[in-house]
Amino acid sequence: MPSHPEFAGSFAEGLRTAALPPGAVFCDGDADLRFAVYRNNVSHSLSEALGQRFPVIRRLVGDPFFAALGRVYSETHRPRTPVLLDWGDSFPDFLAGFAPLAGYPYMRDVARLEWARGRAYHAADAAPLDPAAVAGADPSRLVLTLHPSVQVLQFGAAALTIWRQNQPGADAAQRIPSGDQFALVLRDRSLAVQVHEISQGDLILVEHLATGATLHAAAELAQWADPGHAPQTVLVLLMQAGGFIHPPES
Q: What is the pLDDT of residues 45-104, one digit of tens each?
A: 888 999 999 999 999 999 999 999 999 999 889 888 888 888 999 999 999 999 999 999
Q: Which residue has the higher pLDDT, 131 or 176?
A: 131
d(CA 150, CA 123): 9
* Predicted pLDDT of residue 84: 80
Task: Quick: pLDDT tens for 213-237.
Answer: 999 999 999 999 999 999 999 999 9
Sign (positive or negative) of CA dihedral 113, 116, 122, 126? negative
- Give residue-wise pLDDT tens across range 184-220: 999 999 999 999 999 999 999 999 999 999 999 999 9
- Is 219 in contact with 165 (CB distance < 8 Å)? no
β-partners of residue 96 are none
Does pLDDT of 29 surpass 80? no
| In the chain, where the domains are located | 1-104, 106-250
Q: In this predicted structure, what is the pLDDT of residue 176?
A: 76
Q: Assign 8 a pLDDT band (cuts: 50, 70, 90).
A: very low
* Rounded average pLDDT over 157-183: 86
Model's pTM, two decimal places?
0.85
Amino acid code (one letter) for 180: D
pLDDT for 204 equals 98
Mean pLDDT confidence for 104-114? 97
Angle formed by the axes of helices 106-121 and 31-53, to 10°? 90
> Which of residues 40 and 7 earns the better pLDDT score?
40
Q: What percent of the chain has pLDDT over 70?
A: 82
| pLDDT tens digit sequence for 134-151 | 999 999 999 999 999 999
Q: In what order do the strands lie in the sheet with 181-187?
A: 151-155, 181-187, 193-198
Band of pLDDT at residue 28, cut at 50, 70 and 90: low
